[in-house]
């Protein structure tokens, strides 16, 4: 997998960089980075790399927008991503603990 796709200088993975963008008020850029990066991984059939990324995400350090973007972007390959169901469960628990649950928020994003 191309190194530049997952890493930005000084930021670690694209998820970490997306979080930094989101916290800086650049929500659209953050979401674009997530969708573009996941799309590249999935188009290249890099499912194991995507699984490793999902396993490494610190859910508590992400905004709900970033978490939902990751779930949405990975949904088309859910059957190929064995780590995705566990990631979904972590996000669901996070949403419930933080009182962020809204009707339909996670509908269609299940494992």
So what's the pLDDT on residue 11? 40
- 53 assigned to some structural domain: yes
- 23 assigned to some structural domain: yes
Cα 5 to chain centroid distance, Å, stands at: 14
Which mean pLDDT values do the consecutive 10-residue runs of the chain (111 residues) have? Answer: 43 82 95 94 93 93 95 96 96 93 89 69
So what's the pLDDT on residue 87? 97
So what's the pLDDT on residue 88? 97
So what's the pLDDT on residue 74? 96
Angle (CA) 43-10-1 rounded to 5° is: 25
Are 13 and 53 in contact by the 8 Å Cβ rule? The answer is: yes
Count of residues for the chain? 111
So what's the pLDDT on residue 33? 95
Domain count, the chain: 1
- 36 assigned to some structural domain: yes
C-alpha dihedral, 41 to 63 to 65 to 59, nearest 10°: 50
- 22 assigned to some structural domain: yes
- 103 assigned to some structural domain: no
- 102 assigned to some structural domain: no
């Amino acid at each position: 997998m191309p190194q530049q796709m997952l890493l930005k200088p000084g930021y670690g993975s694209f998820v970490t960089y997306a979080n930094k963008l989101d916290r800086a008020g650049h929500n659209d850029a953050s979401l674009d980075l997530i969708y573009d990066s996941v799309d590249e991984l999935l188009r290249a059939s890099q499912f194991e790399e995507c699984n490793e990324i999902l396993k490494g995400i610190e859910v508590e350090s992400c905004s709900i927008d970033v978490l939902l973007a990751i779930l949405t972007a990975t949904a088309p390959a859910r059957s190929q991503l064995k780590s995705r169901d566990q990631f979904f469960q972590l996000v669901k628990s996070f949403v419930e603990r933080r009182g962020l649950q809204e009707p339909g928020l996670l509908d269609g994003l299940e494992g």
